[in-house]
Structure 1
Amino acid sequence: MASLPVIEMSPLFDRGDVAGRARVAGEIAQACEAHGFFYLTGHGIDLDVLSGLEVQSRRFFALPPAEKLRIDMARGGRAWRGFFPVGGELTSGVPDLKEGLYLGTDLPADHPRVMARTPLHGANLWPEALPGLRFAAEAYMAGATRAAAGLMEAVSISLGLGDDYFRDTYTGEPTVLFRIFHYPARGPGEGDWSRSWGVGEHTDYGLLTLLAQDRHGGLQVKAPGGWIEAPPIEGALVCNIGDMLERLTGGRYRSTPHRVRNVSGHDRLSFPLFFDPDFTAKMVPLPGAAIITGADDRWDGASVHDFAGTYGDYLLSKVAKVFPNLVDEALN
């Protein structure tokens, strides 16, 4: 595999196009079994939404550090929202060479899960100095969430479960988290970037990730023959499956390791949206899926098939390692 497949997903938005939806579902099944990664076109997100998000994000990261820290993640509490500086996020215990803004489904203070103090549920933090960022980010999140829901219908069809199985069982109230990441370019005298990772090798946690990239690239995917590049395609999104879809399908669809190395000489932006199960949903194999136990050949030596519990349990076990300095304040 030298490159990732490109899937045109627009038939998924038309329930009357049964043949088209079945064709796309088949393409997604092939990609999930072979790669765990693929490009998406026909996702319904206009280029002006993508460009507007990039413009506003660059303006945000150009703000003085003190201005960005006014919405520091420590202020987000249990909602786990806000800004973190370069080195503030860990992957496998190693600081990432990026800064970012954590966002998600924006819930009011009187929402039942907020009132119950459910972790990772609450309000987003927005910079007062840049009101346009909220408009741009929310427009993208709405489009990407709609596309992800359509993709999960195709995944459901591909597994012979009917169009709405995942919505009825796992994603009636999905966990939707969104990140805006900035990978600074390395300047003269700052060391060898070829040995520095924007994000180290990892897999995502939930069902699907939809990623928009700027033109500079840097994403790499672990294929059977080694690491391959996943360069940006204008207007296309990258989709990859996460640990819980591997868990639910009994390993039929694999959660593929990936990493980021910014060696372009330019600042890089990326915009991953995670469309994941309801926080309270129990993660058990789907009907007909093989039940696997024991460690496998995953990058971290762990096995998602040994996990038992809710998606919230799994997610919290992971994010506690990403921001260990916030765990006590945010989760207790």
Structure 2
Amino acid sequence: MAMGYRLDRYGRQVPVGLSARQTDFSELPVIDLAPMFGSDPEAKRAMAQALRSACIEVGFFYLKNHGVPQPIIDQAFAASAEFFALPYAEKMEIEQTRTPGYPGYTPMQEESGDAKSRKRQEGFNMNLELPLDDPYVTSRRPFFEPNSWPRRPAGFRDTLLTYFGEMRNLGQKLLGGFALALDLPEDHFQPMITKPITMMRVNHYPPQEDQASDDEDIGNGAHTDFECFTILAQQKGITALQVVNGKGEWISVPPIPGTFVINIADQMERWTNDLFSSTMHRVLNKNAMDRTSIAFFFGSDDDIVMSPLPNCVPEGEAPKYPPIRAGDYVLGRVDNAYEGNLKKKLA
């Protein structure tokens, strides 16, 4: 049970304490995406209804029959493990503050010496890969800066780009399911994702069996994500992700073979006028081994103006959120997380 709350940097209540309840997770839905690859309207409607319930009641769900080949997932994890095993100095050649925009390597707090950072993780960040002469690249639009690739391991770039491409395709398919779940045409969002803000972060968490001093001194403290939704691949057999349920309890989210974990993020919560829940989550690796995860953040085109969807605003009520350009919203949220450094790098 939660032992109380604290306020995070956005003024939201976060349950304190390091314990998490173990459960059978029949309460965390498993959504079957198979109907979205077919043409049966009844099957799609049934899937959309299950998806709608998951997004309203939980904000998190497992996704099965997603169409991403398992070897591509396995290769991405293997390449990531090779990268994180490199010497610290070599990884620091592409350290995130030394490279333009968002891409690059982020070290663990112990290695970086950054007293402000309490995350017990290191990561590799990447954007949608565009040609260097693309107008989005040459004009230095946020989140379209060229990626920063390490010298090693061999094949790392191609492996992660292949995985990124699969995630982008899956995100487009899943967004069609979200449209149906919102009683919209399946292709409603397609014109809004022609060149979307899509980012990916590979996370590496060392073991933290009994070392945490409080609920911020962990792999990743309580937070919500910024874009429309996140597609998370978890390392097999290692449970570290936790989400908050409606009772304010931290609930462990074990990996289920053949599935991704999907969570609604803040952009989708705004778009749906709070109908879909962006649920707080954290990472605490209390295992005796390292843990890797791959998070793909799927958003809209950056020049889309987000306003709450009309069919998500009750008749006679005003929308909860004013219109805002999607790129400005995401930049503001990410820059806040990076304590203002991202905007400075883009200046």
> Structure 1-normalised TM-score?
0.88
Question: 1:277 and 2:300 equivalent?
Answer: yes
CA distance in 1, matches of 2:108, 2:234: 19
> Structure 2-normalised TM-score?
0.85
Which residue does 2:240 correspond to in 1?
Answer: 218
Q: Once the 2 structures are TM-superposed, how far is the Cα of residue 238 of structure 1 from its aligned partner?
A: 0.1
Question: 1:326 and 2:337 equivalent?
Answer: no
Question: 1:38 and 2:61 equivalent?
Answer: yes
Aligned residues of 1:204 and 1:243 also touching (Cα < 8 A): yes
Secondary structure of residue in 1 paired with 2:124? strand
Change (3 A) 1:113 1:200: same
Which residue does 2:194 correspond to in 1?
Answer: 172
Q: 2:179 aligns with which of 152, 156, 175?
A: 156
Aligned residues of 2:208 and 2:284 also touching (Cα < 8 A): no
CA distance in 2, matches of 1:328, 1:173: 21
Question: 1:105 and 2:120 equivalent?
Answer: no
1:207 alignment partner AA: C
What are the within-5 Å matches in structure 2 for residues 42-191 of structure 1? Answer: 42-78=65-101, 80-87=102-109, 94-168=117-191, 170-186=192-208, 191=211
Deviations 1:77-100 (A, max 9, x none): 13x1010100399xxx75311000
Q: Percent identity?
A: 32
2:295 alignment partner AA: P
Q: Once the 2 structures are TM-superposed, how far is the Cα of residue 2 of structure 1 from its aligned partner?
A: 5.9
CA distance in 1, matches of 2:206, 2:260: 22
Question: 1:317 and 2:341 equivalent?
Answer: no
Which residue does 1:302 correspond to in 2?
Answer: none
What are the within-5 Å matches in structure 2 for residues 8-19 of structure 1? Answer: 8-14=32-38, 16-19=39-42
Deviations 1:281-306 (A, max 9, x none): 11101122217779xxxxxxxxxx44
What are the within-5 Å matches in structure 2 for residues 154-303 of structure 1? Answer: 154-168=177-191, 170-186=192-208, 191-192=211-212, 196-215=217-236, 216-225=238-247, 226-290=249-313
Aligned residues of 2:241 and 2:284 also touching (Cα < 8 A): yes
Q: Superposition RMSD on alpha carbons, in Å?
A: 2.2
Deviations 1:49-108 (A, max 9, x none): 111111111110000011111111134313x1010100399xxx7531100000120122
Aligned residues of 1:320 and 1:327 also touching (Cα < 8 A): yes
Q: Once the 2 structures are TM-superposed, how far is the Cα of residue 330 of structure 1 from its aligned partner?
A: 1.6
Q: 1:23 aligns with which of 41, 46, 56?
A: 46
Query: Where does structure 1 lack aligned partners over 5 or more consecutive residues?
Result: 295-304
Change (3 A) 1:36 1:104: same
CA distance in 1, matches of 2:252, 2:47: 24
Aligned residues of 2:35 and 2:44 also touching (Cα < 8 A): yes
CA distance in 1, matches of 2:245, 2:24: 9
Aligned residues of 1:185 and 1:262 also touching (Cα < 8 A): yes
CA distance in 2, matches of 1:122, 1:94: 24
Q: Once the 2 structures are TM-superposed, how far is the Cα of residue 257 of structure 1 from its aligned partner?
A: 0.7
CA distance in 2, matches of 1:228, 1:191: 20
Change (3 A) 1:154 1:178: same
Q: Once the 2 structures are TM-superposed, how far is the Cα of residue 176 of structure 1 from its aligned partner?
A: 0.8
Deviations 1:159-212 (A, max 9, x none): 1210111112x322211100100011248xx84467532111111111110000
Query: Where does structure 2 lack aligned partners over 5 or more consecutive residues?
Result: 1-22
Q: Once the 2 structures are TM-superposed, how far is the Cα of residue 322 of structure 1 from its aligned partner?
A: 2.2
Deviations 1:264-293 (A, max 9, x none): 121110101011011111110112221777
Q: Once the 2 structures are TM-superposed, how far is the Cα of residue 124 of structure 1 from its aligned partner?
A: 1.3
CA distance in 2, matches of 1:236, 1:165: 26
CA distance in 2, matches of 1:39, 1:293: 33
